[in-house]
Amino acid sequence: MSSFPVSGELAVRAAEVLARLGADAPSSPDGPVVSRSPITGEVIGRLEASTAREVDDAISSAARTFTDWRLVPAPQRGAVVARLGQLLTEHKDDLAYLVTVEAGKVTSEALGEVQEMIDICQFAVGLSRQLYGKTMASERPGHRLSETWHPLGVVGVISAFNFPVAVWSWNTAIALVAGDTVVWKPSEITPLTALACDALLRRAAADVGAPAGIHHLIQGPREVGERLVDDPRVALLSATGSVRMGREIGPRVAARFGRSLLELGGNNGAVVTEHADLDLAVRGIVFSAAGTAGQRCTSLRRLIVHSSVADELVDRIGKAYEQLPIGSPLDETTLVGPLVHRAAFTAFEDALAKAKADGGEIVTGGGTRFADQLDDAYYVEPALVRMPAQTSVVHEETFAPILYVLTYDDFDDAIALHNEVPQGLSSAIFTTNQREAERFLSADGSDCGIANVNLGTSGAEIGGAFGGEKETGGGRESGSDAWKTYMRRSTNTVNYSTELPLAQGVNFL
Ligand code: NAD
């Protein structure tokens, strides 16, 4: 049985935590930007939205600061990110508490999100000495051909509610070592975690003597973000959120020849073959599908199972689902916390109704918890639904814990079903058969940006590039060479001879 904080307790504790992090208190009792805790549904802080003038000032300051920041040697730029990593380590519990209170994540996942921030800071500091260009063999004697990476400019970051702090750090840590400056518009429903991150970075900058103008926080609804979308001084717009959002902003950034990095919705699938280790599969599936109450972009939403193992697997997942502790994410034993708000709950119920109308059978879950205790908080039982076919509702991302199960007999059909949806973020196969595993990872296997073998679709490490194909937007952030999106490439040819041979043997003069 879960216990919930008494009325007013969350607001008081959030204010204390913000004070410890050195952040301003959310001081506008009637402000339109409302932080409401999904744990109880109560308001824990209100802010004013940034005005047009404030957004313009933020972009101007970031653009001005960029002209100096780009000249600071990259390893020195790394110092501010190294300091941010130290501060995050020091304040890990406090920041994770705010993530739990504002986004509803269970404590271990909230701590994991802050750990991801620390990890990306370490990665970025290492990167600050490794922004490598290439040297190519020139076809001309006495010539050297190479490429150099230079800072790009102001990076606008728009982020989603469900990773309220990590996505900011993926972008900001890399952008700062790349020599860029940042203007951040977080989700309008997670403004307090944003105040905390901004305060920590301001402190890091002051501690190492970096200019304060390297980072600016603007707050408010999508209209505030639209100013970043349309401003030609924003060289790169990195936007994380729904496909709807990406569809709106992608063409607008392209129309002004800006660069965009889009991290949009997923509709992630896992194939379970007749050769799978089912013990391992059940654990990987349950974490990916029910963890974070299905509110990760990489949450598992579709299971494509060989018909010979489908009944056993569904039975085992169903039993695991029935054991899942659902409740306040502040309770140590809870594994499934609340949905973020009423609209998410309505989407959950609508999707289940559509699935049933399409012939789906709800094997387990789909109910609500604590509705009699809490008026405006939404705790649901993760739903496991057997579908006769991949109908239109299965093609959509419903940001809630619903796992649709489909069956197959032929491996080619499994891959075709897997790739049929418009999104292309994360994917997995459970098998002990090497041919199946390699085929899934090959050019005619999974069409996603992330393809895993014998683990679930969620829970990526920062070392790899993160992102997806098709309607997921094509962007890559975090590790590997994702940093290149935050820089501009210059190809350089130097003639150190006394002749002027032209390329391709052309003669002129
Ligand atoms: P959302 O699209 O409602 O909002 C995301 C952000 O975009 C918010 O800051 C919002 O204010 C802003 N925004 C929305 N429309 C805008 C517009 N027209 N112009 C400028 N800004 C605009 O998404 P959400 O509900 O906060 O987050 C859930 C979604 O995000 C899911 O679809 C999830 O899959 C996706 N997501 C993707 C990734 C990824 O890396 N691919 C990571 C996390 C979340």
Give the Å distance between the CA of 222 and the centre of ligand 1.
9
d(CA 194, CA 190): 7
Does the interface ipTM go beyond 0.95?
Answer: yes
Number of H helices, E strands in the chain: 15, 23
Ligand 1 atom index nearest CA of 158: 9
**Angle CA 408–473–251, to nearest 5:** 135
The verdict on the CB of residue 162 being under 6 Å from ligand 1 is yes
Nearest CA to ligand 1 atom 11: 222
pLDDT in tens, the chain (509 residues): 678 999 999 999 999 999 999 998 887 889 999 999 999 999 999 999 999 999 999 999 999 999 999 999 999 999 999 999 999 999 999 999 999 999 999 999 999 999 999 999 999 999 999 999 999 999 999 999 999 999 999 999 999 999 999 999 999 999 999 999 999 999 999 999 999 999 999 999 999 999 999 999 999 999 999 999 999 999 999 999 999 999 999 999 999 999 999 999 999 999 999 999 999 999 999 999 999 999 999 999 999 999 999 999 999 999 999 999 999 999 999 999 999 999 999 999 999 999 999 999 999 999 999 999 999 999 999 999 999 999 999 999 999 999 999 999 999 999 999 999 999 999 999 999 999 999 999 999 999 999 999 999 999 999 999 999 999 999 999 999 999 999 999 999 999 999 999 999 999 98
* Tokens of residue 262, six digits: 């889009």
CATH T-level topology, domain 9-264+473-489: Aldehyde Dehydrogenase; Chain A, domain 1 (3.40.605)
Q: Is the CB of 474 under 6 A from ligand 1?
A: no
- Which residue is catalytic, options 297, 396, 436, 477? 297
**Run of H or E including 149:** strand 143-151
Q: What is the pLDDT of residue 27?
A: 78
d(CA 64, CA 57) in angstroms, rounded, equals 10
Sequence ranges of the domains in the chain: 9-264+473-489, 268-463
The reply to whether ligand 1 has any atom less than 6 angstroms from the CB of 483 is no
DSSP conformation letters of 238-302: EEES-HHHHHHHHHHHHHTT-EEEEE----EEEEE-TT--HHHHHHHHHHHHHGGGG-STT-EEE
With the most atoms of ligand 1 within 8 angstroms of its CB, the residue from 242, 249, 458, 471 to mutate is 242
- Catalytic annotation, pick one of 263, 396, 471, 477: 263
Which protein residue's CA is at the shortest distance from atom 30 of ligand 1?
Answer: 241
Look at ligand 1, atom 16, and give the residue with the nearest C-alpha. Answer: 222
C-alpha–C-alpha distance, residues 89 and 110, integer Å = 13
Distance from Cα 260 to the centre of ligand 1, integer Å: 14
Ligand 1 site, residue 196, Cβ cutoff 6 A: no
Quick check: helix, strand or coil at residue 2? Answer: coil
**297 catalytically annotated:** yes
Contact assessment for residue 467 and residue 477, using Cβ atoms and an 8 Å cutoff? yes
Q: Does domain 268-463 have CATH number 3.40.630.10?
A: no
Rounded CA-CA distance 240/262 in Å is 6
* b/e map 230-244, b = 16+ CB within 10 Å: ebebbbbbbbbbebe
Please tell me the predicted confidence (pLDDT) of residue 1: 64
> Which residues in 176-192 are b (16+ Cβ under 10 Å) and which e?
bbbbbbbbbbbbbbbbb
